């Protein structure tokens, strides 16, 4: 599964909860978390692992943060090979978290079985901010953080995306992207 979305959408939190659910059901889960690299040093904070504290201690989970090192598209130059290594290593589920910084961070869509766009419910003009490119590639759009005071904005954003996705050309004869 590939996951992308804007900063603050809750990608790492979602992955930790989903990953824990999978490991409790006896799946082996691998997380390939891609972080942006510094244009100055080329390094990265690799902070995603620190935000997945429970999953990082789980013996049925493997978390590998990697810097982009200038690669565009939200993944690293070797993400596809890393996916294959994880599958060969016996991991049933491989989750790839992209950098998630804009509308062109969807190179992972061609590497995975399902590409999920994770969105927060109250980020302003969502349809303007995300744009067409990444929406066209999404197999699933998940509105995250849809609880408490954010239930109403989440329902509004869901309706906007359902309407917007009706205007897009279908990528598959058998699957219609869900929101």
Q: How far apart are CA 129 and CA 131, in angstroms?
A: 6
Residue 172 located in a structural domain: no
Check which CATH number belongs to the domain holding 23 and give it: 3.40.50.300
Find the domain containing 42 and state its range: 2-121+136-167
In a domain, 177, yes or no: no
How much is the pLDDT for 166?
A: 83
Asked whether residue 34 is assigned to any structural domain, the reply reads yes
Distance CA 111, CA 84 (A): 10
Q: Which of 67, 38, 62 minimizes the C-alpha distance to 52?
A: 62
**Is residue 112 in a domain?**
yes
Asked if residue 62 belongs to a domain, the reply is: yes
pLDDT digits (tens, 9 = 90+) for 129-178: 455 667 788 899 999 988 899 999 999 999 988 888 888 777 778 888 89
Give the three-state DSSP class for 49: helix
Cα–Cα distance for residue pair 77/74, rounded to 1 Å = 10
Read off the pTM: 0.82
Number of folded domains in the chain? Answer: 1
Does some domain include residue 63? yes
List Cβ<8 Å contacts ≥24 apart for 41-46. 42/67, 42/69, 42/70, 43/67, 44/68
Each of the 179 residues of the chain gets a pLDDT tens digit; together they read 999 888 888 888 999 999 999 999 999 999 988 766 555 555 445 555 567 889 999 999 999 887 665 554 455 667 888 899 999 999 999 999 886 655 455 677 788 999 999 988 876 555 454 556 677 888 999 999 888 999 999 999 999 888 888 887 777 788 888 99
Residue 127 falls inside a structural domain = no
């Amino acid at each position: 599964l590939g996951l992308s979305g804007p900063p603050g959408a809750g990608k790492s939190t979602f992955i930790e909860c989903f990953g824990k659910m999978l490991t409790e059901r006896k799946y082996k889960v691998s997380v390939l978390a891609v972080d942006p690299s510094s244009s100055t040093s080329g390094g990265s904070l690799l902070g995603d692992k620190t935000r997945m504290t429970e999953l990082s201690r789980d013996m049925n989970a493997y978390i590998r943060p990697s810097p982009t090192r200038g690669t565009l598209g939200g993944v690293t130059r070797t993400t596809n090979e890393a996916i294959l290594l994880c599958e060969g290593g016996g991991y049933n589920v491989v989750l790839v978290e992209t950098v998630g910084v804009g509308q062109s961070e969807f190179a992972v869509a061609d590497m995975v079985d399902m590409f999920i766009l994770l969105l927060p419910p109250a980020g302003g003009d969502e349809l303007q901010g995300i744009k067409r490119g990444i929406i066209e590639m999404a197999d699933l759009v998940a509105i995250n953080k849809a609880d408490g005071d954010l239930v109403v904005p989440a329902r509004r954003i869901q309706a906007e995306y359902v309407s917007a996705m009706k205007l897009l050309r279908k990528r598959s004869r058998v699957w219609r992207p869900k929101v």
